Structure 1
Amino acid sequence: MDRLVLKRLLRGLWVVLATSILLLAIYLLLPLLYPLLLAWLLAYIMHPLVLILKGFKLPSWLAVSLALLFYIGGITLVLTAMITRLVKELIVLLQTLNLHTDQWKDLLMSLSQNASIQNIINQINQFYRDNPDYHATIDSNISRTTETVGYAVTQVVTGFFNVILKLISALPSMGTILIVVVLAAFFISTSWERHNDKLTGWLPTAFLKPVSDIWRDLRRALSGYLRAQVILISITAIIVVIGLLLLGVKSAFAIGLMIGFVDLLPYLGVGIVMLPWALYSYMTDNLALGIGLSILYAVILITRQVLEPKVLASSIGLDPLAMLIGMFAGLQLFGMLGLIIGPVVLVVLVAFNRAGVFRALHSYIVSGRLR
């Protein structure tokens, strides 16, 4: 083998090995260090306010304490108000669904007595009589399909209640973690400059600029991604809430908030809820609600199509198709949590590319130099 090719192969293997070791270290250490990372992130977010408060000649500990009180108190108040309102409207929504049970039963009975449905049933019975050999096969397939659907529904319901139970059982540990995060954020923030100087002192001088470039692009990309999602979800939720209030729908706030979160699924999110709802309204002769929901869905769809490319492009510079692929890949690898992990990993890779990390690695493998 040519000596140059051998050197490039060895450098490539070294890059793969170093990357694998780094990812393994992150995987093993993240469960232990994530409270510290959350604390550093909280201190980073508070830092501008801390600097403003220090400008009023306040002691460092007092400025940090006031900043912590402002952020944590504000988040607690907002979450408490939202959860309280959401629980109230969910109770009303469940009561409304219970009232519609008899209506759904009557709808199914009327559909089963429909002439077209009866004609289809008669044709199926005639097919059974004419082809008795297929009877057992069809019944077996229908039975298996019913069992599969029933199992899937059972798994979804069981999974939902398991998540609720896990959240309730995790509350004590979450409280402990919150205390650790707040205390660590306080100590990090009171000595922000000293900790940053110590951290940069650990890095070789040659790595300071690349790391700084990566952090700058990564910060811009991740904050842009979060800002874009918050903007799009908020716009969708506001439009849905206003539309449902105009249509006189109860629990408009809860439904709008849930549809806003479902809107995390690009192109499909709102339609998963709005289209079946509108179809059901037409089937139950509630034409006014059905037409209103159809118009509302069209407004949301047009608004998303107009704003989404602009918001994503201006915030993170990613094509919506790439974002969809990232969400699908994350869903396949990590489940529902992958809907968040996938796009974040994609954003990180794009930030690394913009910072020239991949070009530097390619240059190292080819020539033995990072640049």
Structure 2
Amino acid sequence: MDTLVLKRMLRGLWVVLAAAMILLAVYVLLPLLYPLLLAWMLAYLMHPLVLILKGMKLPGWLAVSLSLLFYMGGTVLVLTALITRLVKELIGLLQTFDLHTDQWRELLLSLSRNASIQNIINQINQFYHDNPGYHATIDSNISRTTETVGQAMTQMITGFFNFILKLISSLPSLGTILIVIVLAAFFLSTGWERHNARLTSLLPAPLLRPVSEIWKNLRKALFGYLRAQVVLISVTAVIVIIGLLLLGVHSAFAIGLTIGIVDLIPYLGVGIVILPWALYSYMTGNMALAIGLLVLYGIILITRQVLEPKVLASSIGVDPLAMLIGMFAGLQLFGMLGLILGPVLLVILDAFARAGVFRALRSYILSGRLH
């Protein structure tokens, strides 16, 4: 075998092994160190406010304490208000579903009496009569499909209640973790410059510049992407809530938040909820609501088209198709949490690519030098 090819293969193997070791270390250490990571993120977010308070001649410990109180207290107040309002409207929404049960039953009965539906049923019956051998196979497939859907629905409902039970049972441990995060954030903030200098001193001099470049691109991409998505979701939710209130829809707050979160899905977004809802309203004779929902959908689309380029201008954009693939891959690998982890990992990989990490690794494998 040619010596150059052998050296490239060995360098490539070394790169693969190093990447595998890093991933293994992250997999092993992350469950142990994630409170420290969350504490660092909290300290990083608080740092601008800490600097402002220090500029007002406040002692460092007091500036950090006030910043912690502002961030944690504000978060608790906002979450408490949101959850209280959400629970209240969800209860009202469930009561609304109960009130519409009779209406849905009448709708299904009227559809079953429709001439076109009756014609289809007659054709199916005639097909059964002309092809008796297919009758058992079709009934078996329908029964199996129904059973599969029923099991999926049962698993989903059971999983939801199990999640609630696990969340309630884990509240004491969550409280302990929260205390650790707050204390760690306090100590990190009071010695922010010292801790950063110590961390920088641990890196070899040749790695300082590449690591700094990676962090700059990663910070711009990840934080920019998350900030942009929060802004876009908030704008969508506010527009939907206002629109539903004007249309006289009950539980507008809960529905608006749900549609805002659904807006995370590329291409599909709010149309998954609003378009079927508008179609249902039209079929039930509520023409005003159907037209209002379509107008609301149009307003959301126009607003997204106008705002999205401007909001994403400060972040590194990722192609929507790639984002959709990342969400699907994350869903398959990590479950529902993967809908968030997939795009985040995709943004991180994109930041590494923009920082030239993959180009440098390719250069190392081919020539033995990092460029």
Q: TM-score, normalising length from structure 2?
A: 0.96
CA contact (8 A) 1:234 1:260 kept: yes
Aligned to 1:151: 151
Deviates more, 1:311-320 or 1:229-238: 311-320
Going from structure 1 to structure 2, the CA distance change for 1:49 and 1:309 (only over 3 Å counts) comes to closer
Q: Which residue of 1 aligns with 2:357?
A: 357
Q: Give me the whole-angstrom Cα distance separating, in 2, the residues matched to 1:46 and 1:7.
A: 48
Residues in 1 aligned to 2:256 and 2:151: alpha-carbon distance in whole angstroms: 30
Secondary structure in 2 matching 1:71: helix
Q: For 2:137 and 2:370, locate their aligned partners in 1 and report how far apart those are by CA, in whole Å.
A: 66
**Is 1:188 aligned with 2:178?**
no
Residue 121 of structure 1 deviates from its aligned partner by 2.0
1:232 aligns with 2:232: yes
Q: Does the Cα contact within 8 Å between 1:309 and 1:319 map onto a contact in 2?
A: no
CA distance in 2, matches of 1:47, 1:107: 58
Whether the 8 Å CA contact 1:313–1:319 is kept in 2: the answer is no
Aligned to 1:111: 111
Aligned to 1:17: 17
State the Cα RMSD in Å: 1.5
Residue of structure 1 equivalent to 2:4:
4
Matches of 1:21 and 1:123, distance apart in 2: 63
CA distance in 1, matches of 2:57, 2:228: 37
Question: What CA distance in whole angstroms lies between the structure 1 residues aligned with 2:128 and 2:40?
Answer: 69
Is residue 2:84 matched to residue 1:80? no
Deviations 1:307-328 (A, max 9, x none): 4355435422322222222222
Matched residue SS, 2:270 = helix
Offset, 1:177: 0.5
- Which residue of the partner structure matches residue 98 of structure 1? 98
Moved more, 108-117 or 306-315: 306-315
Partner residue in 2 for 1:369: 369
Q: Deviations over 1:144-197 (max 9, x none)?
A: 121122122222222222222222222221111100000011111111111111
Partner Cα distance (1:101, 1:15) in 2: 61
Cα deviation, residue 97, structure 1: 0.9
Preserved contact between residue 331 and residue 337 of structure 1 (Cα < 8 Å): yes
Cα distance in 2 for partners of 1:306, 1:62 equals: 43
Greater displacement, 126-135 / 348-357: 126-135
The answer as to whether partners of 1:243 and 1:296 remain within 8 angstroms in 2 is yes
In 2, are the aligned partners of 1:330 and 1:342 still within 8 Å (CA)?
yes
Q: Is the 8 A contact 1:221 1:348 kept in 2?
A: yes
Structure 1 counterpart SS, 2:318: coil
Deviations 1:42-70 (A, max 9, x none): 11111111111112222221111111001
Aligned amino acid, residue 233 of structure 2: I
Conserved in 1, the CA contact under 8 Å of 2:225 and 2:317? no
Q: C-alpha distance in 1, partners of 2:329/2:308?
A: 20
Match of 2:337, SS state, is helix
Q: How does 1:200-211 map onto structure 2 within 5 Å?
A: 200-211=200-211
Residue 216 (structure 1) aligns with = 216
CA distance, structure 1, for counterparts of residue 306 and residue 121 of structure 2 = 46
Query: Are the aligned partners of 1:237 and 1:256 in contact in 2 as well (CA < 8 Å)?
Result: yes
Q: Which amino acid aligns with 1:185?
A: A
Asked if structure 2 preserves the Cα contact closer than 8 Å seen for 1:331 and 1:338, the reply is yes
Task: Give the equivalent residue in structure 2 for 1:302.
Answer: 302
Alignment gaps of 5+ in structure 2? none
**Equivalent-residue separation in structure 2 for 1:314 and 1:195 (angstroms):** 28
**Quick one: which amino acid aligns to residue 302 of structure 1?**
I
Q: CA deviation at 1:333?
A: 1.9
| 1:364 Cα deviation from its structure 2 partner | 1.6
TM-score normalised over the length of structure 1: 0.96
Q: Does 2:28 align with 1:66?
A: no
Give the conservation status (yes or no) of the 8 Å contact 1:312–1:320.
no
- SS of match in other structure, 1:269: coil
State the distance in 1 between where 2:16 and 2:283 align. Answer: 58
**Contact 1:312 1:318 (C-alpha < 8 Å) held by counterparts:** no
Q: Residue 303 of structure 1 aligns to which amino acid in structure 2? A: T
Which is worse superposed, 35-44 or 104-113?
A: 104-113
Q: Does 1:256 align with 2:275?
A: no
Tell me if structure 1 keeps the 8 A contact 2:266–2:321: no
Give me the whole-angstrom Cα distance separating, in 2, the residues matched to 1:39 and 1:71.
Answer: 12
Structure 1, unmatched stretches of 5+, are none
Residue 123 of structure 1 corresponds to which residue in structure 2? 123
Secondary structure at 2:267's aligned position in 1?
coil
- Deviation string 1:66-116 (CA, Å, 9 cap, x unpaired) is 110011011111111111111111111111111111111111122222233
Counterpart AA for 1:18: A
Match of 2:199?
A: 199
Amino acid at match of 1:292: G
Counterpart amino acid of 1:183? L
CA contact (8 A) 1:50 1:63 kept: yes
Amino acid at match of 1:331: L
Aligned-partner SS, 1:118 = helix
Distance 2:338 2:319 in 1: 19
Cα distance in 1, alignment partners of residues 343 and 276 from structure 2:
28
Paired residue total: 371
2:10 maps to a residue whose letter is L
Counterpart of 2:244 in structure 1 is 244
Aligned to 2:39: 39
Q: Distance in 1 between matches of 2:317 and 2:297?
A: 27
Paired residue type of 1:114: N
